[in-house]
């Protein structure tokens, strides 16, 4: 399952789902033009033609609306990573594809649509549940890859598994965290391959 869980309330039926989509769409437009910080729930209410109170029936805060957008975006990245990893035949290749796909998909989504980047960066900076769940999902995939590599004899087994995964995740942070990714765009062509080589050499038995 590649969905990132959201902290927003679940829809109660088709009509509710449609209204939620309207709100999220309007929010996306406003965030795109004015930024997340400068957009208020009142602005969204006026844009859709709903009352502010009515919007609060579906989302309990502006953050909850941002969470819905962020969750959709991060789930797309996870889906791309899951597909890339599933098509690899060895743990070594799975790690290479994980890193490469993670960076390529993030750059494509975040920097071709500024509003998605702004929300993702805000999410990471504020420690929103969607951002925390995303990081946990990447670490989970890393854990599965490293564990499989150890079982198949491709990776060393002396270092505790959690320590190994944590260290690899730290290496990937500049390309996983949207706040840091913006400062490393000039490196995204070569960094995933070079850092993958470094990590894989350290994992050799």
State the residue for tokens 């990245």: 77
Domain span(s) for CATH 1.10.357.10 in the chain: 69-203
Confidence of residue 10 (pLDDT cuts 50, 70, 90): very low
Beta carbons within 8 Å of 130's beta carbon, 6+ residues apart: 4, 5, 6, 7, 67, 70, 71, 74, 123
Burial per residue of 122-159, b for 16 or more beta-carbon CB atoms within 10 angstroms, e otherwise: bbbeeebbbbebbbebbbebbbebbeebbeeebbeeee
- Per-residue confidence band for 177, with pLDDT thresholds at 50, 70 and 90: confident
Length of the chain: 205
Least confident span in 25-39, 55-69, 136-150, 159-173: 25-39
Q: Which CATH number fits domain 69-203: 3.90.79.10, 3.50.30.50, 3.40.50.12780, 1.10.357.10?
A: 1.10.357.10
Asked if the 18-63 domain carries CATH number 1.10.10.60, the reply is yes
Question: Rounded to two decimals, what is the model's pTM?
Answer: 0.81
**Residue 60 scores a pLDDT above 80:** yes
């Amino acid at each position: 399952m590649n969905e990132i869980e959201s902290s927003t309330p679940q829809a109660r039926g088709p009509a509710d789902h449609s209204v939620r989509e309207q709100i999220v769409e309007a929010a996306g437009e406003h965030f795109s033009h004015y930024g997340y910080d400068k957009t208020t729930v009142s602005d969204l209410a006026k844009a859709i033609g709903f009352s502010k109170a009515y919007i609060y029936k579906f989302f309990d805060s502006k953050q909850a609306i941002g969470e819905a957008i962020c969750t959709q975006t991060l789930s797309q990245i996870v889906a791309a990573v899951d597909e890339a990893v599933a098509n690899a035949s060895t743990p070594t290749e799975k790690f290479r594809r994980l890193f490469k796909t993670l960076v390529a998909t993030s750059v494509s989504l975040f920097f071709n649509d500024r509003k998605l980047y702004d929300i993702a960066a805000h999410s990471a900076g504020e420690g929103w549940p969607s951002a925390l769940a995303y990081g946990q999902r990447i670490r989970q995939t890393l854990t599965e890859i490293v564990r499989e590599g150890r079982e198949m004899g491709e990776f060393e087994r002396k270092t505790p598994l959690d320590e190994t995964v944590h260290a690899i995740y730290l290496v990937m942070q500049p390309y996983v965290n949207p706040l840091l990714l913006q400062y490393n765009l000039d490196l995204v062509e070569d960094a995933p391959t070079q850092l993958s080589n470094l990590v894989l050499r350290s994992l050799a038995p």
